[in-house]
Amino acid sequence: MLYELARPWLFRLDAERAHEEVSGLMALLAELPGAAAVAARMAGPSRPSLERVVFGLRFPNPVGLAAGFDKDGRLVPILPALGFGFLEIGSVTLEPQPGNPRPRLFRVPESRALINRLGFNSEGAAAVARRLASRPRPPIPLGINLGLNKGTAPEEAPQAYAGTFRILAAHGDYFVVNVSSPNTPGLRALQSVKNLAAILEAVQEANGMKKPVLVKLAPDLADEDFAAAIETAERLAQGLVVANTTIGREDVDAKWSVEAGGLSGAPLKARATELARKARAKTKLPIIGVGGIENAEDARERLAAGADLVQLYTGLVYGGPGTVRRILGGLP
C-alpha cells in the first residue's frame, strides 16, 4: 500500500533517479546493525514445497532478483526481507567505470517495460569484494554477475573475466558470465563458440573453489547460435540464464524504436519463455528463467517451460516490494 502511494511520485522522477532514491533508502537500512538478521526474520519461513536444490545450492524458494538492480552489492543485507529465494548482484566489472552518459534508463509504462543502456556502470570488483567481505553472508544464495569493461579487446576478455572472478570468488555462491548485454560494444560477439569457450576456460581455470559458473544468453541469437552457445556451456559451465534484455522493439510503441538499449519487462515474456523451453529441450543444465516475470502465473509458466529458478527486476519496478510475496503465494 505504501508503494502504491509513493509510486506516482517516483514515476515523476527520471527512472534512474527514482531507482537511486529507492536503493539509497534501502542502503541506509542495510547499514543498520543486525540488518541481515532482521531481513531474514521478515522474510519468514519458506514453505518446504518451494525449496529447490540447484547446481548444488539450496534455494528456499525459486524466485530471485535479477542482475542490474543492485549492481555493487550495497543492498545484499536488506533484500532478503522482500522474500527472495536468492539474489544476483552486478554486473561487476574488473575496473571501475561510470557506464554510458545519462539519460540511460527509461520507463515504458504502457507496456510495463524498461529500456536501459547503462553500460555496466560499476564500482569495480575490488570495491564490491571489500563491501561483501565486511558484511555477514546473506541467508539465501548470492550470485554475482560478471561484466566486461568497455574497451577491453576481445582477445583480453578471457583474462578480464577470470580476473574479476578471482577477486570475487570467495563472496558469491554462483557466478554468471554476462556476454549478452547489448550496451557494451562488441560484447554479444563473445557468445560465439570460440570466444565463449575461451572465456569459460579461463574462468574455470581460476575456479579452484569449484563455484557454479553460468552463462547469460541474449534473446536475439539466431537459433543455431543459441544452440551452439548451449553446447559450449554444457562442456564448460554449470548452468544458463535465459535471457538478457532484447534489442527488439516488438510490442512497444514505435516511438521507442529510436531509444537505444536493452528492452526488459512484459514485452520480453513470450520470447523468454520460448527460449527457456528450447534450452530445456537441448540440455539438462540448470536454467534460470528471466524476462517479463511479474506475477505467479508468469513464474509458473516459466518453470513449466523448463526453468529451475526464475528472476525478476522490471516486474519489481512496476509491482513494488510486495511482488515477490504475491508470486510465492501463487506457487504450489
By annotation, the residues acting in catalysis are 181
328: three-class secondary structure by DSSP: helix
| DSSP code string of 184-217 | STTGGGGGSHHHHHHHHHHHHHT-TT---EEEEE
CB-based contact 316:83 (threshold 8 Å): no
What are the b/e assignments for 205-236, b being 16+ CB within 10 Å?
A: ebbeeebbbbbbbbbbbeeebbbbbbebbeeb
Unique residue bearing C-alpha cell 558469491: 172
Q: In sequence order, what are the beta bridge partners of 89?
A: 144
Which residues, at least 6 apart from 269, have a Cβ–Cβ distance to it below 8 Å?
291, 292, 293, 298
Q: In sequence order, what are the beta bridge partners of 239?
A: 214
Q: SS3 helix, strand, coil % of the chain, rounded to 5?
A: 45, 15, 40
Alpha-helical regions (H) of 237-295: 269-282
Q: Measured between alpha carbons, how far is residue 179 from residues 147, 174, 216, 332 in Å?
A: 7, 16, 7, 34
